[in-house]
Structure 1
Amino acid sequence: MINHLLIAVAVLSLSKLSSQISTKDDPSYIGAVVEYHPITDGDDGQIIAEANVNNYRTIIRTAASYAVDIIVFPEFGVTSIPSVNARGKAFNASDYRAYYRTAASLIPDPKANEIPCDAATLYAQSLKEISCAAREYSMYVVVNHHERVECPSRNCSPDGFLLYNTNVAFDRQGRLIARYRKYNLLEIGTNATREPVVSTFSTDFGVTFGQLVGFDLLKESPAVPMIGNPNVTDLVLSSRLYNEQPFLDSVQRHAAWAYAADVNLLAAAYNSDLKGSGGSGIYAGKRGQLRVYHPGVPSNALVVAEIPKLSGTRAGIPRQGRSSLHVFKQAEVPTISSSSAAVPKSEQNHTHEDLAAYTSLPVDPKQSPHIVTLCDNGLCCEFHVETKFDEDLAKKQDGSVYYRYRFAVFSGVRQFAADQTLGVEVCSIVSCAGDEIDKCGRLYPEGARVVEPTVFLALYVTRRADLGTRSFYSPTTATRELLPINTTDFGFAIGGPESNSLLLAYLSRPTGNVAAFGIYGRRFDWDGQPPTRPSSAGTSVAPSVVVVAMMLLAVTTRCFERY
């Protein structure tokens, strides 16, 4: 009887994280992010927006039962993304603007101190309902909502209005306290501000948040400037980016960025398995993921975590508190149609980076250790790898398969979208569902009998970098379940002078489950240049005692500084 009572108490404490709102004096607060599969069917954008917000109210009510202080919803979650117009044709820019004109809302300047819930007719009903829900459940609510700004004349736009992809934050009284118009656009038919605007808001529990949307996490502004603001320790991200293997899957990207910036990150994703988007989580900087959810199927879920407050040197901050996951049933949040079949992760419409432009070298797990120097366009990466390989397991004739591995190095410019090129530097090991380079970053089909004959006993990846450039470097880690590797299982360090710093990523315990592991760099100063073509860059194998010594020395040097 006593045992049953103890179990009940334990379950209750995990599912209902707190019974009181957090205060400035508390060492933590309760945050939540929403993985949302929105309603998209229909031709009336306003009706669709109001239906999605009706589901938002259900989700916010559920979050209140966990005493959530702040909840973050994904990009496009309210107004969604229609796939075809009334004529059954794919939308163009004009179609999108016409559709969103009715779904979008006027959004007040935060300086106006307005509560849309109290407005009569000025704002869209969808925006008003979110304001009312924030007040009803006494919760900070962050949502993404298209914004319409009427033009005084048609000089600003031929159709007479500006359309913004806008994130807004409401306080516990339903007051609109922050507005961020997305600057780094990938979608068509949407306007952008002339310069990126840093949007922040403060809370009654003593934390100041910065706002980001979608592609911002891969660009320099406004994300990097917020890292340099000592008052902004936590960021919210509303996202609807396609997942891309092997280095830019959603939770992989979120965890890496939060680690390198050493900030708390609350990332909410638009769930669409057919489009290969989704994957939400809460991350506590170098302490790693507090809770992630990457279902790979149509799903609506609430991710809740107790988040430690960050300040100063971060000393004495616990790695994580309690967390919980609430996956909504179809009866609770009815957005998933019967035609939305579950698609296995291996068959989703994920994008895969073409690694043909990389300099790569197969890893022979039977030959250990490997001490390899691999160079591409002037970037040289050092790999020190020790493996254990079970040949008997690999040779079994029972239909089983196993992953191969490659060292992969890239320094140059890559195409990201139709009109976007990004400067990238990569030093990594990647898993491959076959021996060819085009199999790297891919998974074996679901149902395949995958064995793990290769175990990494030690793995060090290092390179030199000039941190005085416009750049951002992070560890990149992923398991074959497309989840980030726990921060207790790897390390990332930097040492030496700024102009010639040594960057090191290393595994701290053996594992056989590695999809990607290394160092991912963004060179913002290269953005916009033509894509780099495949080169015949050279490789070398150098069992250098000096290199190994530098790696081991770097483990004890200073960790990544915020910049």
Structure 2
Amino acid sequence: MHLFITLISILLIVFLCESHEQCGKINRYSESEVCTAEISEYVAAVVEHYPNQEPNLSSEERLMKNTEDFIRILNKIDQNLDIIVFPEATLYANAKMNVHDDALPYATKIQDTITGVSLCSSKGNKEEAAFLINLACAAQNSNTYLVANVIEKSECNDLENCAKDGWNLYNTNVVLDRDGAFVSKYRKFNLFGEHYVNQTAEPDISIFETDFGIKFGMFTCFDILFRRPTLELIEKHNIKHFIFPTMWFSELPFLTALQTQHQWAQRHDAVFLTSGANDPKRGSGGSGIYQGKYGPLKYGIVSEGGSQAHVATVSTHPPEAGGLDATQIDKTAKQMDNFFFLKDDLSLYTSKILTPNQHQYNEQLCSGSGDNNQLCCHFNIQINWNDEILNDGKDHYQYRMVAYSGVRSFSGMYNGGLEICAILACTGEEIGSCSGRFGNYNDVSWPVTFNKISIKANFTIDENKVQHPNSLLSSIRPLPVNAVEWLHRYFQDEPIVEWNYNLIEAQSRLFTFAIYGRDFNRDGPPSTKNTKSLGNINL
């Protein structure tokens, strides 16, 4: 009797497993079937796009040429995609874009209601611009969801604050389904010097569900550094898959593109589809598909200028993270020699230099004042110094431990609160050199090997604070997830969390190793004396 029950149980398990597998196939590829089983995988593509560089195009010509690039890239992908994401602002990049009137010729109306009707069909809403209809047809032809970033125009009903032409303009992500029908949109909330578009009164909470069983949330570029709407999507709506079009401009030592994307995905254990505009002369580039704590599935920067699609399968069993290969790190790092980087101002950081031939550090550095704003960082470091390399006459980086609790200006556009503990590579002995990079990678040698790093700090538990594991190699890529530990513990009866960031695999090409904390309580608009124009830079 027991044997019979066991056999029945085994058969039932097999049946359920086979049904679950078949259910996933039906739900993914057929709109005519309904299935409630959770889908285990989907195929995503993110595109790093180098926009058209011709200076004297009309708005229609520029939009259509970049749209043709989008479609050409999509058509070259030889996998059946479930979703593809294109970057921020590249449909109209390189156009004069300073004020409302500059942007209006590039703007298109977007539906406010989901009709389920393909924009590609003759029954579609032809109020949308021709380029958007072409993208809808491309989504339909490739049987994929498609995300593009556009300038949206919407009729203004506020008589006091309307532009003379009666339109509000928004930096908007648009989602089209496999049939080319409008599914969702998101209007960027945290604008970065984008005086030609409007800011919504409150952040959009943009969520859409796909036919392959995944709910996505969306935000854009500069949004990633703020609480709203990004963290609200996680905390209030339990979203775990995100779409992130961006025109990011990399800043050393903490906010290069892949470094920023990776720290956010790892901290929130989120699937993150990031698509970046490409322009190495302005420091723009960096795209990837990240699977939370498992790290990037595919990512990269087109360092010499160009377009590239990254395609990966997001699944319940992602591949293990790769190891560290110094030869590959050096090869990739050399390719970044002509890539432009912004530099953070570190002048107010507390710091201490790591001196040659001292092999062990157990130090504490503190920054800030008062119970709520003081941060103390504990460093435990083990180092090997190679005297032969140290004296070889080449350039080599010095290292500093740093701590900072305070407020920074994001390029004069906005002020943000920071709580940071870090080890940084510096081109000289001054703290200001720790946000720079030697110009010729072939002239650099590496006498320092970090065998162990442990950075530990206590942070007040506050919904307006968040901490991230932040790292960077000389290749301008973050450390792989299997080379680090990111741990935390709570204290009984105290509103405190201790974060501990550990290097567990020896490394000799280190640029940044940090706990990067944001304190949204201290955010605010900058003083007028810090304001400066960055032209068409979007973050």
Specify the alignment match of 1:55 in structure 2: 69
Secondary structure of residue in 2 paired with 1:417:
coil
Tell me, in whole angstroms, the C-alpha distance in 2 between the residues paired with 1:173 and 1:321. 35
2:431 is the counterpart of 1:437 = yes
Gap regions ≥5 residues in structure 2 = 1-24, 30-36, 323-333, 369-373, 528-539
Give the distance between the partners of 1:421 and 1:146, measured in 2 at CA: 26
Q: Which range moves more in the overlay, 199-208 or 222-231? A: 222-231
Partner of 1:513: 509
The answer to whether 1:196 aligns with 2:187 is: no
1:117 corresponds to: 120
The 5 Å alignment of 1:95-134 reads: 97-118=100-121, 119=124, 121-134=126-139
8 Å CA contact 1:76, 1:144 repeated in 2: yes
After superposing the two structures, state which structure 1 stretch, 186-195 or 119-128, moved more: 119-128
Q: Is the 8 A contact 1:73 1:143 kept in 2?
A: yes
User: What is the one-letter code of the residue matched to 2:348?
Assistant: A
CA distance in 2, matches of 1:409, 1:124: 50
Residue 80 of structure 2 is matched in structure 1 by: 67
Aligned pairs for 1:280-295 (under 5 A) are 280-295=287-302
Look up the equivalent residue of 1:72 and give its one-letter code: V
Amino acid at match of 1:160: G
Aligned to 1:92: 98
Per-residue CA distance 1:444-474 (angstroms, 9 max, x = gap): 1125422211100110000001122411111
2:22 corresponds to: none
Q: Deviations over 1:18-52 (max 9, x none)?
A: x9995665422111100001114224222201111
User: SS of 1:238's equivalent?
Assistant: strand
**Cα distance in 1 between the residues matched to 2:168 and 2:191:** 14
Shift of 1:365: 4.2
- Residues 368-425 of structure 1, C-alpha deviations (whole Å, 9 max, x = no match): 210010011021000000001011221124xx22111001111111000323001111
Which residue is 1:77 aligned to?
90
Indicate the SS of the match to 2:105: helix
- SS of alignment partner, residue 255 of structure 1: helix
Query: Any conservation in 1 of the 2:280–2:338 contact (CA below 8 Å)?
Result: no
Q: Partner of 1:261 in structure 2?
A: 268
Q: CA deviation at 1:320?
A: 5.4
Q: Which residue of the partner structure matches residue 365 of structure 2?
A: 374
Aligned 8 A contact 1:441 1:515 in 2? no
Give the 3-state SS of the residue equivalent to 1:500 in structure 2: strand
Amino acid at match of 2:343: H
160, 171, 181: which one aligns with 1:175: 181
CA distance in 2, matches of 1:402, 1:413: 31
2:312 & 2:321 partners in 1: Cα distance? Answer: 7
Shift of 1:296: 2.0
1:391/1:51 Cα in 2 relative to 1: closer, same or farther (>3 Å)?
Answer: same
The answer as to 2:146 corresponding to 1:145 is: no
Identity of aligned residues (%): 29
> CA–CA distance in 1 between the matches of 2:271 and 2:352?
36
Which residue in 2 is equivalent to 1:87? none
Give yes or no for the alignment of 1:502 onto 2:478. Answer: no
Cα distance between partner residues in 2 of 1:152 and 1:396: 69
Residue-by-residue CA offset, 1:292-344 (whole Å, 9 max, x unaligned) = 111322110001111125xxxxxxx445599xxxxxxxxxxxxxxxxxxxx96
- 362 and 20 in structure 1: CA distance in 2 versus 1, 3 angstrom threshold: farther
Distance in 1 between residues matched to 2:112 and 2:336, nearest whole Å: 42
How far off is 1:231 after superposition?
A: 4.5
Separation in structure 2 between the aligned mates of residue 126 and residue 389 of structure 1, nearest angstrom: 58
Residues 1:277 and 2:284 are matched in the alignment:
yes
The runs of 5 or more residues in structure 1 that have no matched partner are 1-18, 85-90, 310-316, 323-342, 532-563
Contact 2:295 2:321 in 1 (8 A): no
Residue in 1 aligned with 2:12?
A: none
Q: 2:348 aligns with which of 357, 360, 365?
A: 357
Q: Distance in 2 between matches of 1:268 and 1:20?
A: 29
**Aligned positions, number:** 474
Q: Distance in 2 between matches of 1:20 and 1:511?
A: 47
Q: 8 Å contact 2:243–2:272 — kept in the other structure?
A: yes
Structure 2 residue 426 is matched with structure 1 residue 423: no
Q: Distance in 2 between matches of 1:355 and 1:464?
A: 22
Paired residue type of 1:371: N
CA contact (8 A) 1:30 1:305 kept: yes
Does structure 2 conserve the Cα–Cα contact (< 8 Å) formed by 1:137 and 1:172?
Answer: yes
1:558 corresponding residue in structure 2: none
Q: Counterpart amino acid of 1:31? A: A
Q: Secondary structure at the match of 2:439?
A: coil
- Alpha-carbon distance change, 306 to 20 in structure 1, aligned in 2, over 3 angstroms: farther
Match of 2:309 among 297, 302, 317: 302
Letter in 2 for 1:191: N
Matched, 1:28 2:19: no
SS of 1:292's equivalent in the other structure is strand
In structure 2, C-alpha distance between the alignment counterparts of 1:491 and 1:107, rounded to whole Å: 44
* 2: CA distance, partners of 1:122 / 1:321: 46
Query: Which amino acid letter does the alignment assign opposite residue 102 of structure 1?
Result: P
Residue by residue over 1:167-190, the C-alpha shift from the partner in whole angstroms, topping out at 9 and shown as x without a partner, is: 011111111101111111111221
Question: Cα deviation per residue 1:500-528 (whole Å; 9 max; x = unaligned)?
Answer: 11100001111111100010001111101
Change (3 A) 1:21 1:387: farther
Q: Corresponding residue for 1:7?
A: none
* Distance in 1 of aligned mates of 2:281 and 2:377: 36
TM-score by length of 2: 0.84
2:447 corresponds to 1:453: yes
Query: Does the 8 Å contact 2:169/2:198 carry over to 1?
Result: yes
Q: Which residue of 2 aligns with 1:135?
A: 140
From 209, 220, 226, the equivalent of 1:219 is 226
Residue 191 of structure 2: aligned partner = 185
| Residues 474 and 426 of structure 1: CA distance in aligned 2, closer, same or farther (over 3 Å) | same
What SS does the corresponding residue of 2:64 show, helix, strand or coil?
Answer: helix
1:528 to 524, 530, 533: 524
Distance change in 2, residues 1:441/1:417 (3 Å)? closer
- Match of residue 160 from structure 1: 166
SS, match of residue 415 in structure 2: strand
In structure 2, relative to structure 1, the CA distance for the partners of 1:66 and 1:229 (3 Å cut) is farther
